[in-house]
């Protein structure tokens, strides 16, 4: 299923997994730091919705205007599968 995701979606999944129930603005801030450019809402939220639709991320209400995002067990399994695959090709430097 990882091959169905864009690189941006994989990065979103990674960021969400590394934070405690982040909201959209927290995710946006982390992504902008990593990409070193502005991430607009028209790119961020449709991609978050895709991850939710694929049951990789759960969206919950943080308050009336804000959602929180949590990686599901399927999302965590997918990230672990990706790490294992990458470890075959990326060797740490000594």
pLDDT per residue, tens digit, the chain (94 aa), is 567 899 999 999 999 999 999 999 999 999 999 999 999 999 999 999 999 999 999 999 989 999 999 999 999 999 999 999 999 998 777 7
What CA–CA distance (Å, rounded) separates 20 from 68? 9
Residue 32 lies in a domain: yes
Residue 93 lies in a domain: no
State CA 48 to chain mean position distance: 8
List Cα–Cα distances, 78 to 4, 14, 37, 39, 71, in angstroms. 11, 10, 27, 24, 10
Domain CATH for 59:
1.10.10.10
Residue 92 lies in a domain: no
Contact 10, 82 (CB under 8 A): yes
Please state the pTM of the whole predicted model.
Answer: 0.89
């Amino acid at each position: 299923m990882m091959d169905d995701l864009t690189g941006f979606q994989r990065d979103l999944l990674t960021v969400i997994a590394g934070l405690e129930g982040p909201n959209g603005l927290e995710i946006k801030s982390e992504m902008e730091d990593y990409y070193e450019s502005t991430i607009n809402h028209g790119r961020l939220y449709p991609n978050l919705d895709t991850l939710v639709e694929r049951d990789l991320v759960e969206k919950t209400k943080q308050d009336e205007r804000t959602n929180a995002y949590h990686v599901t067990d399927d999302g965590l399994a997918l990230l672990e599968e990706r790490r294992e695959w990458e470890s075959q090709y990326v060797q740490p430097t000594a």
